[in-house]
Structure 1
């Protein structure tokens, strides 16, 4: 039987008889040669499996719990001599170190951007609050990719990262679900985010986001945002610990407190009744005395002079005293409650056995306490945004609402001045320590051994990031995610942990907030005198920049900036002024301008749109992506189907309880509410219910003149026939709502007209075919 295997000779004869093929054939020699190696191995060779390994943190790297409260002055907390009991802050101070020369930027977004990036705020585009960005490089609110955050760096080095609470570093035009999400917390290095993106939020009805998705409004009638934030922080700690107990984490926990609105739980508010009846002058004096006793300010410190335009407490009427004291009670109760919730988070670390390996940095305030409440305080923070002056008589009649969900209260500026003891000025004033000096505590068991110690080196919020990186054993990268990084100007504070009396390694710090300027150099501060105080009912005329008065302080001897020594040291002042301009150029601070300048041409998702069309119910469209109706006439048409039982619910709504507008059904009748503030509300209602079936509902908002604050005539129509008319005497001045969104077919978070409906029951019960809004 023939062999099944052909010989090589037979194979060659068979092939030679075939037609010439179009491809070459291997030679016998090639077939007999060893098999070619591929990637250094033959197919017969075995190779051990090799898995890609995750990056692991440095052995022994600590967890980082970074806490920042909001609008809390140096003299607010009991830890730094203030009148508000903060036992969690106190306990950390006893276990760790207090820093009494720690400085922020005088307002929210710049401090937060500087904290996260380790750079001066204008160097990362955040020279003012994100919601009032301007078109200059240092002020456009766009944190560049060349300024990587501590969260991005730690995540790349084996850390889990989470952020809970207030963001306020995302450009407004990027806040919709269309993104981009690069500058949302999850795009800035945080693997998990739960909180709010804007400047502030109601404690009872917050507008929240989880990662990049809106959160359903809370159903619990006793809900409180600070408790919710603590709950989410503890839940994240538990889940992270369960999944990877040996993996360190960064948790950035940013409270909404004590920014307006001050809405503490009722039982906490009750604890502070009558505590502030003596007034702000007595309170501040007592704070300064306690600060000296505690040693958090030098014993010889003079309190900064009383502002001439701020009324003395004794000059107020009994009604003013009663009203103003109630505002302060709400502020104090809010701060005390937030501190208690922070204590719950720290207890969770203790329960999980994580506390001993956690560096806790607790910064009490992102700037000084606010004096934005001016003379009388504000029952509604939105009054200033709407350009209306509150009537103190109205506030007095609603005094029992202060501290509750129905007020968005902001305390009088006199309390802000008192909370910033012993320094002059307040939030927004980047020129003086009342705006930029905040109490701060660090605790790290086994590494900070001078328990209860005080550190007086001069430091800045940009120094936190380098401190965290040094503690984690991480070097800041020159290139992050393929992008070369700009220099980190922050200076690690870790040297101060063991060296109580070490000289400050920060010798220079420039500051500019709007047009309030200062420069620190080796114990001296040159600062511009503010053009206007928070208490002037008629602000003075603007003074050109080159004609501003500069003040000089020797803060080596004058801790509180109580003594202006400019006239005795003209050469020192001139040298510091020149240094300011040099540092301002290096830090991207120029041009100096007001917060209202340079907004023309801001990116706008709706640029050129005059028609807005919605074919289905939709919620949580932020102000920047909603129809732009401030100072504009507009018309809205809704094609709907009314069910047999009659219509109820909302067709369109923008804003909520403290400002907005809503087109809705009131007992089956078409209705429109324009809520400038709860004290300035107009409701227009049709006479009869709309019948069952298909209808076209119309709204025409015709302004007298298309300018902000202008009045308007309003007409409601059903199938083209006018059914109600009314007048809105004053319209929005700047925004419809700074904290709530635009909805179609519902009004979520909080109701624009609480007397007519609630948010839970606001969904339109019929069919909604199309809603069109034409901006005229």
Structure 2
């Protein structure tokens, strides 16, 4: 066995990393010169200046020699690192932690490695990933919220500071090849456009190669893909395309390329599929495997899961089921149609998670076949937060519409049921299943005050570094602990200065001490939590936390603050599931812990607490690539317009004029904005101009306008005038050709909040108001598109 605790002693210990006591607030965090030489300042002895003789004539210089100062090599025998993080998966979902969803890859790694049952995330996607990448508390690096909800407050600005170097930067500067596949939710929205800047994209954060998507979620069938910094499209010729397989294919290809070019170079591969965030998408044959597996409902499923967890030893034998919140209906209270629909929604979720785990297994098999598995440290974190309750009590067939305030009724969802899991729906299961997938804990994603929001199963596998495979570790851990764990395993000291910028202190604590000592005393004895006003403080086995004041599926407004609601108190050393509130029994203890919360909140940039949740979407003071412009000109391009380069048209009036050359036989999209879940397109069908607008899946929220006759050959101006008097109110749409109105219609609702900024000119990457395959590219010619925002 080789544990490289001190491996850097002969290689990096002499490096002149100057300790930094603190870093300044505000802009100073990101200032400083760019000087990579500081990483290697003393790893190379200074070279003596040549003694020049006579004139500066290189033909008579006898002291000069050819020399290149190349990048540092990794420490000897440094392990490869495969870091895996799935999305919206609760503690009790996978079979590895007693759940009902078979995860064979996760299971095998647990047999070969260690299960961690007291590992915690942050309760939301982007904050967890910021802490994972940097080894710091999320608010301390600007991620007290997801990027789409960022504000100007220091702990919520959504900007990774340069004073918190990522694992990509640290490992690349220390001789590793680095790559990132899947979800990136940590680039500011206003920096996602075609002109960047790109220094906070994955390739700017230290990753040599990126293949995945930007933002919180994407379709498995028509993903918004990027390769490095360029938008790319899924292969149109693959009728069975699905993103999870594509990600694994690209990761395997990258590994093979590296193995061919530099077989001795260690790698850091960060693999972050979007599964199982909504939409829950999976191949039909995988969904069929789970037919009838969840007919017993979520209440019974929690009981079954806890029994398995106790039998497996992944929770203590005295663990109790935490109570079901009143806002989650009992399974027995549902109608037969509801049970049939909701059970199928869970079947789709299970298929998505199991399929993603299978694809992860393909990546690990490639490492095995290359002969690198024994010296590969694998950290597999099952979920970046608890299961998502955002589907609400009834579930959703269109989460984008749900965020906009439109939820389909039972009849509409039953009609869609056979197609769930396919490309036409952006589906999510009911909150009852999220609660069951978080067994044995309370609450769900978004709720950082309760373990159902933050407790995730983790497995660490390292054949050359673990003596007791197959066992459980119960040391309290946090997602910020992963970066220092990886550094210590590789024998790389956490830098105090990177690119000339002093680094803020690491908040994470390496977990390596627990690898070969199940009884090792916890090194993390305190942890603060806060997301959207839900708050908690862990201290030496005790947890004090607020009571949630807003349901995770209520997107309308803010929740409470830690100063508003009731605080609860739990002794986690005796009550693993956070089931028994001791606030009345130990008031002095509760008071001391609440005071400590405020101390930690000040220390980690949690103050001022911004609890507005989805109410801060499209915050007015957030930077914008388009700034205050109200007129825009776009030209045809084979690449999507994305990353804030197309104006947000939700909840407002606008006018569009498209100059085209076309005739009676032309087809295809002229302009598209959004996706099939919500959006609009202007297109030609057999020469006839048509406009479709979709706010939700309800028939009344889908408007279709058609001209009466095809265009004559030649130049034409197609116009759309879209007028609404209120953000969520009705709208009127007029379609015109060459200045003449040819069709008009009314909408009972316009898209009020969330309309994807993805747009295309002259083609479409998705279908709006249609089925299955995207429309064909426009067969005519688009000269330009003029767009004006109206008062």
Same fold (TM over 0.5): yes
**Do 1:611 and 1:774's aligned partners in 2 also have CA atoms closer than 8 Å?**
yes
Q: Deviations over 1:166-203 (max 9, x none)?
A: 11111111111110111111111100000001111111
The offset of 1:282, in angstroms, is 0.7
| Other-structure match for 1:771 | 785
**Do 1:205 and 1:218's aligned partners in 2 also have CA atoms closer than 8 Å?**
no
The offset of 1:35, in angstroms, is 8.3
Aligned equivalents of 2:411, 2:69: Cα separation in 1? 69
Whether 2:768 is the aligned partner of 1:752: answer: yes
SS of corresponding position for 2:545: strand
**Do 1:697 and 1:717's aligned partners in 2 also have CA atoms closer than 8 Å?**
yes
SS of corresponding position for 1:297: coil
Aligned equivalents of 2:197, 2:746: Cα separation in 1? 40
The size of the alignment, in residue pairs, is 734
| Other-structure match for 1:710 | 729
| Other-structure match for 2:180 | 163
Aligned equivalents of 1:167, 1:435: Cα separation in 2? 21
Aligned equivalents of 2:469, 2:129: Cα separation in 1? 28
Aligned equivalents of 2:541, 2:387: Cα separation in 1? 24
Instruction: Summarize the Cα distance change of 1:559–1:765 in structure 2 as closer, same or farther, 3 Å threshold.
Output: same
- After the TM superposition, which residues 177-326 of structure 1 pair with which residues of structure 2 at under 5 Å, given as runs? 177-219=194-236, 220-326=238-344
- After the TM superposition, which residues 322-337 of structure 1 pair with which residues of structure 2 at under 5 Å, given as runs? 322-337=340-355
Aligned equivalents of 1:542, 1:176: Cα separation in 2? 32
Instruction: Summarize the Cα distance change of 1:182–1:542 in structure 2 as closer, same or farther, 3 Å threshold.
Output: closer
Whether 2:730 is the aligned partner of 1:730: answer: no
Instruction: Summarize the Cα distance change of 1:709–1:203 in structure 2 as closer, same or farther, 3 Å threshold.
Output: same
The offset of 1:340, in angstroms, is 0.7
Aligned equivalents of 1:69, 1:654: Cα separation in 2? 29
Aligned equivalents of 1:200, 1:536: Cα separation in 2? 19
Q: Which moved more, 1:311-320 or 1:300-309?
A: 300-309
Structure 2: gaps spanning 5 or more residues = 1-50
| Other-structure match for 2:644 | 624
The offset of 1:47, in angstroms, is 4.0
Q: Deviations over 1:420-465 (max 9, x none)?
A: 0000001000001000000000011121111101110000000000
Aligned equivalents of 2:229, 2:775: Cα separation in 1? 22
> What is the root-mean-square deviation in Å for CA atoms of aligned residues?
1.9
**Do 1:617 and 1:768's aligned partners in 2 also have CA atoms closer than 8 Å?**
no
- After the TM superposition, which residues 67-86 of structure 1 pair with which residues of structure 2 at under 5 Å, given as runs? 67-86=84-103
- After the TM superposition, which residues 436-515 of structure 1 pair with which residues of structure 2 at under 5 Å, given as runs? 436-515=454-533
**Do 2:187 and 2:200's aligned partners in 1 also have CA atoms closer than 8 Å?**
yes
Whether 2:578 is the aligned partner of 1:561: answer: yes
**Do 2:658 and 2:785's aligned partners in 1 also have CA atoms closer than 8 Å?**
yes
Q: Deviations over 1:121-142 (max 9, x none)?
A: 0000011111111221111111
Whether 2:391 is the aligned partner of 1:373: answer: yes
Instruction: Summarize the Cα distance change of 1:536–1:289 in structure 2 as closer, same or farther, 3 Å threshold.
Output: farther
| Other-structure match for 1:664 | 683
Whether 2:709 is the aligned partner of 1:688: answer: yes
The offset of 1:697, in angstroms, is 1.4
Q: Deviations over 1:1-48 (max 9, x none)?
A: xxxxxxxxxxxxxxxxxxxxxxxxxxxxxxxxx984579999252544
| Other-structure match for 1:652 | 671
TM-score by length of 1: 0.92
Q: Deviations over 1:217-262 (max 9, x none)?
A: 3221100110111111111111111111111000000011111111
Aligned equivalents of 2:591, 2:140: Cα separation in 1? 25
Q: Which moved more, 1:659-668 or 1:340-349?
A: 659-668
State the structure with more CA Rg. Answer: 1
SS of corresponding position for 1:356: coil
| Other-structure match for 2:438 | 420
Q: Which moved more, 1:476-485 or 1:707-716?
A: 707-716
Aligned equivalents of 2:743, 2:479: Cα separation in 1? 56
Whether 2:645 is the aligned partner of 1:603: answer: no
Q: Deviations over 1:264-320 (max 9, x none)?
A: 111100000110001001111000000000000000111111222321111111000
Aligned equivalents of 1:620, 1:138: Cα separation in 2? 32
SS of corresponding position for 1:621: coil
**Do 2:532 and 2:559's aligned partners in 1 also have CA atoms closer than 8 Å?**
no
| Other-structure match for 1:430 | 448
**Do 2:403 and 2:555's aligned partners in 1 also have CA atoms closer than 8 Å?**
no
Structure 1: gaps spanning 5 or more residues = 1-33
**Do 1:165 and 1:196's aligned partners in 2 also have CA atoms closer than 8 Å?**
yes
| Other-structure match for 2:36 | none
Q: Deviations over 1:452-501 (max 9, x none)?
A: 01110000000000000001110111110111111111000000011110
| Other-structure match for 2:653 | 633
**Do 1:623 and 1:736's aligned partners in 2 also have CA atoms closer than 8 Å?**
no
Equivalent position to 1:583, from 600, 605, 621:
600
| Other-structure match for 1:147 | 164
Aligned equivalents of 1:421, 1:483: Cα separation in 2? 44
Aligned equivalents of 1:745, 1:375: Cα separation in 2? 41
Q: Deviations over 1:382-424 (max 9, x none)?
A: 1222221221110011110111111111000000000000000
Aligned equivalents of 1:433, 1:200: Cα separation in 2? 23
Aligned equivalents of 1:458, 1:565: Cα separation in 2? 21
Aligned equivalents of 2:750, 2:734: Cα separation in 1? 16
TM-score by length of 2: 0.90
Instruction: Summarize the Cα distance change of 1:202–1:536 in structure 2 as closer, same or farther, 3 Å threshold.
Output: closer
**Do 2:446 and 2:552's aligned partners in 1 also have CA atoms closer than 8 Å?**
no
